[in-house]
Each structure stands twice: as C-alpha cells, then as structure tokens.
Structure 1
Amino acid sequence: MCGRYNEHLPKMHGWSNVLTDWPEEVEGRFNAYPTSTVTAFAGENFNTLRGHAMRWQLVPSWAPEFSVKFPTHNARLETVEERPTFKNAWVRAQRCLIPMAGFYERQQSGAKQWHYIHDAHTGCLVVAGLYERWHGQNEVRHSCTMITKPSTSVIAQLHHRSPVLLTKKAAQSWLNSDLNDPIGFLSSVDDVPVTAYPISSRVGNAKNNDAKLIHEEPKIKTLFD
C-alpha cells in the first residue's frame, strides 16, 4: 500500500519530456497524504498528457458530496473492477499516472521502522492510477487513487502491498484505452528497481512537511542490515 509519498522530484531522467504540463495550483509536498491535493497526469497517450490537481482519495462520480467515509487512496488490483467505488473509472478507462520522488512505508514486523523507497538513478517513480470527475452544482472536481498489488523484492521486506510502479514503456501501454486485459498487464509489468533506507518516524505525522523527512537515519537497525 502507499499512504505517504514525496512529490518533490529532484530529477526526472527519462520522464522530463513526458511529465511537462504541471498544474500551478499544486504546491507539492514532502509528505503527501490521503485527501491532500496532488498532481496526476491524464491523457490518451504521451502526446496528450496533462497534469491535473486531484484529491488523493478517489470520490466516485455518484457520491452526493465530494468526500468519502472510507479509504480510497489505494485500489487493490485484484478487486478494482468489482468495487463500486472504482468501477466507473475502471470501465471508462479513466487511467492516470501519479509521479513521485519516492514513498514512505513502515515495516510490518519488528520495530515498525519507517523507510523511504525510491529510485536513486532516475529520481522519479510513476504509479498506475485511476481518476474520477465529480460534478457539483457549479464545479467539476477531480480525484485519484493508486493501484496496488502484492509486493516483491525490496518492498516485500517492508510490506506485503506495493503501488504498481511503471516503466516509461509500461506507462504508455497503461494509458492506451484499447489495452487488452489491463489487470493481467499490471500484474505482469516488470519491476522498477528501487532502494530503501530508514528515516525518522516524523513522517507519520502529516503536519510534518520538510526535506528532513527523507534524510537517512543510518544508526537505525533495519531488515536490510
């Protein structure tokens, strides 16, 4: 799963010519959390991609107000096409890309230590997502969710779920509305290589939002020692 992530992209090797149209109204957070406003990119292909300000907690189009009473910031790949909350976005292929510098995960066993997971080479991770449009009386608002699946490699040592991370090639396929068997596709996409290191527990408090959150705590013993 993913409940916290870092929006500040120091570099975007391989993505800089794709993720170009960023919404000015999104400030960007070192500690993005469910319900915060984040940037998600939507479009039929890379040539039409555009960044939108979206609430990171998907609100279905049929909701009476722009809010939900249960967690919808993550959507399990195994059940996404069945859940009423996500079904409309899934059927309509309302797919998006959610970029991040890295995300935070707390290991499930032992000391419950927080870790920062990222790709040290590219500086950019891109997650497969879905988005929705909610129509109010005089407004249209957007929201999104990250799709998750069973984790592997480094992430599996920390948590049994992981956001579906995409390579540039996989992202292009994900945006194609004619994609056959999208569940099978996301289940089998190649792993994106990531590394993880221990960080301060300050990230657990959404009020903390500064660059120190991603500083490594080398004296802390973790599963990787």
Structure 2
Amino acid sequence: MRSFRISGRECRRHAERHCLRNFETVGESRLYGKAWRAGQRCLIPAQWIYEPCYETGRNVWHRIGLTEWQSYCVTGIWRRYDGDDGRSLIGMSMMTVNADGHAVMGRMHKPGDEKRSVVILRPADYDEWLHTKNIEAARTMLHLYPADEMAAMPK
C-alpha cells in the first residue's frame, strides 16, 4: 500500500477542498469527481481522529477511534494537482457520511451543524474498496461504523 503525507497546515488551510469529501456529492465534485469515476480510491491509516464536541456548551476536542484504540483505515479518494510552486502533488480526501443519530459521531460539531463522520472500513473490505471497478459497489461500502465498536474521549 502506498501512503501519502499531507502537512497539517495544508490540511487545515484546504480542509473543505482537500481533506473531507461528502460521498453523496463526490461524483459531481469539480476537484474529485474525475478521480471518483476513475476509481482513485485509497485507504488512510489512523489510530484516532479528533473532532469538536460542544456538549458542554464550548468546544472540547475529542479523540475518536475504535475500542481499545486499535489502528484502522478511513476510506479516501486521491488526485494529482499542481501545487502553488508548479510541482505535481497528490492530494487526498477522507470520505464522509451523514452521522445524524449516531451515538458517537452524532455528538460531534456545533449544535445545528450537519453531523458527518469519516468512513472506517473493516480490513476484510480493504481489497474491494481499492480495486472494484464498480462505482456503485464502492458507494455501498460508505456507511457509519457501529458506535458500540468505537471510543471517544476528551483530548
């Protein structure tokens, strides 16, 4: 498996464009539509992610992962693009799905904001995610991970 590193600064600066992509609209995306149709899917390894939680009335960042904090992979899509200095770069975006009602991810983000979650993939599905030629088969893999197999705690 090939891995790519994107700096935290670049990810924050281009978060909407480069780091998170709604699966519902990825096929129509100016930045990622062509990559989606070409099957340029990837796996993004993680032990946890951080999300803001406002249950206390203020932003408290939460560490979110699998129970016992084992490593996992998030579904992603990648594309080539020209950087500001003219170099050819590879960007990726984590796929997200609606998380309304999810016991863990539905608690994250500001009240009134859409609740979204990255898509955690089970190891048995890695090969199909990376290699299926059927876009609809890939789309069916984009769903919420069971909340009872996840953990969340303040940072």
TM-score, with length taken from structure 2:
0.75
- Whole-angstrom CA distance in 2 between matches of 1:71 and 1:83: 10
Root-mean-square deviation (Å): 2.8
* Deviation beyond 4 Å, 4+ runs, structure 1: 67-70, 135-139
Q: Secondary structure at the match of 2:64?
A: strand
Residues of 2 paired with 1:79 and 1:99: CA distance? 23
Aligned to 2:24: 78
Q: Which has the larger radius of gyration?
A: 1
The answer to whether 1:149 aligns with 2:97 is yes
1:153-172 equivalences in 2 (<5 Å):
153-159=103-109, 160-172=115-127
Distance 2:15 2:63 in 1: 28
The answer on whether the counterparts of 1:56 and 1:144 sit within 8 Å (CA) in structure 2 is no
- Residues 145-201 of structure 1: CA deviation (Å, up to 9, x unaligned): 1000012221212241110111112222211232351223313x65372101112xx
Partner of 1:169: helix, strand, or coil? helix
Give the conservation status (yes or no) of the 8 Å contact 1:106–1:113: yes
- Give 1:32's aligned residue: none
AA at the equivalent of 2:98: P
Q: Tell me the equivalent position of 2:140.
A: 184
Asked if structure 1 preserves the Cα contact closer than 8 Å seen for 2:69 and 2:151, the reply is: no
Alpha-carbon distance, 1:69 to partner = 9.6
Out of 126, 143, 149, the residue aligned to residue 73 of structure 2 is: 126
Equivalent residues in 2 for 1:17-56 (5 A)? Answer: 50-55=1-6
Q: Give the strand-richer structure, 1 or 2.
A: 2
1:87-109 alpha-carbon deviations (Å, 9 max, x no partner)? 11101110000011101111144
What percent of counterpart residues are identical?
A: 25
State the secondary structure of the residue aligned to 1:51: coil
3-state SS of 2:62 partner:
strand
Unmatched tracts of structure 1, length 5 or more: 1-49, 58-66, 200-225
Aligned position for 2:41: 95
Corresponding position of 2:154: 198
Q: Which has the higher helix share?
A: 2
The one-letter code sitting in structure 2 at the alignment partner of 1:157 is R
Alpha-carbon spacing, 1:157–1:104, altered in 2? closer, same or farther (3 Å): same
One-letter amino acid matched to 2:133: D
**Helix, strand or coil: the match of 2:45?**
strand
Counterpart for residue 140 of structure 1:
88
For this pair of structures, how many residues does the alignment match? Answer: 140
The answer to whether structure 1 residue 111 and structure 2 residue 66 are counterparts is no
C-alpha displacement at 1:126, in angstroms?
Answer: 0.8
- Residue 94 of structure 2 aligns to which amino acid in structure 1? M
